[in-house]
Structure 1
Amino acid sequence: MQAALHQVLAVRPLSPLAYLLRLERGALEFQPGQYVRLALPGLPAQREYSVYSAPGEPFLELLIREMTGGLLSPRLRRCRPGEALEVEGPFGEFLLREDDPGGTFLFVATGTGIAPFHCFARSYPGLDYLLLHGVARSAELYGAADFDAGRILPCLSREQVGREQGAAFEGRVTDFLRAHPPAAERLFYLCGGCDMIYEIFAILRRRGVPAERIFAEVYF
């Protein structure tokens, strides 16, 4: 698959380290949950990012966390409108099984692993889901306002939960699932670091959830 050039439309900071990169959509077609491979012309570094925007939107958005000492993410943050980036894809099979008779979904994300779930929520109005978003602090709750009220539960591992934060859980997503075991008939989608995914997979299997009802996308 050959990379195509897409012009930068905007870079919007979300936190001291995370930002949204908006590109021209061009002729790119993708399914919710897929990712693209991104590069700067002339640089050897390539990185893969799940698509944050929905297929029905006229632009392409990617949620990126700047990695200290990284070869690409710090440079992408400094992009200016009109600058061209190489986009290859789409790739991936982290797709929603919306016709499953179970009918309800539990999404679990850590950090920027929320990106494909943001795409799901914007692509499928009326979707019956609950999203657990695990972050260290509330400042890292990217795009929480874009989800339906009552559909997202922040899990804050390094910040006390106060009244001003509304509905939130103090602890990791794994702590929440141990304290509040989910119904085994749900479909489970996990996106984030491999340690979190392995741990939640084990929790769900002990609860009797069949392996074929658990889908995962690992962020490195």
Structure 2
Amino acid sequence: MTTIKKGSRGDDVKKLQQALNKACNCGLSEDGVFGAKTETALKDYQRKYGLTPDGIAGPKTWSKLGYSTSEVPMSRLIDEIILHCSATKEGVNFTSDSVNAAHKARKFSTYVDSKTGKTLYIGYHFYIRLDGTIEECRPINVRGCHAVNHNARSIGICYAGGLDKADTNGTKIKDTRTPAQKAAILSLCKRLIAEYPTIKRIIGHRDTSPDLNGNGVIEPFEYIKGCPCFDAIPEYKHLFKV
């Protein structure tokens, strides 16, 4: 994203206006013209979130609004967190390296690890080990590969587990989260919501299933899979102000 201020025009200004309207219900005209009203709304937003209220949308402001500011050739407005399980048995120490190998076999989209230069395949942005260790996987500014039709606007978090110890065919699902994993997921979600105030909901992978009866609620009979094996929406609803 480019740095823009009063007098700027174009698509980035329109994206800024859309993000401010979504975050603060500012009532701005999304016309791509950075005028006095957009400047005032931006300054108010910057004050609210501890940024320098200079009315200039630079890297820190774009990041706070949920947009990527890297040189990756895409801009991501993030508005949801999607929770997953690794679909492995309770107590099995399945690592992010194992997930990466599984996703490679399934030919997931790739990205290059900026630290090692290696090409990786893991589709999640974060992976939670049994002991609650949070492993960073895909950079947040890189589109995930974890939920069809939701990857462009979401952050994917996966925890190790999701199957009963007695499972023999991958169908005996269970919420196997350890206390440490539950604490880690909650802490991570709180941090991400603070960093990306455009996030409006936390859902499970199964909540992305099609709404077959059109009633606006994804019900158990509509689930295309059980992941993440617990009901994420009510568990984390309290993190959002009504």
The TM-score normalised by the length of structure 2 is 0.23
Query: If each structure's helix is expressed as a fraction of its own residues, which one has the higher value?
Result: 2
Structure whose CA Rg is larger: 2
Query: If each structure's strand is expressed as a fraction of its own residues, which one has the higher value?
Result: 1
The TM-score normalised by the length of structure 1 is 0.25
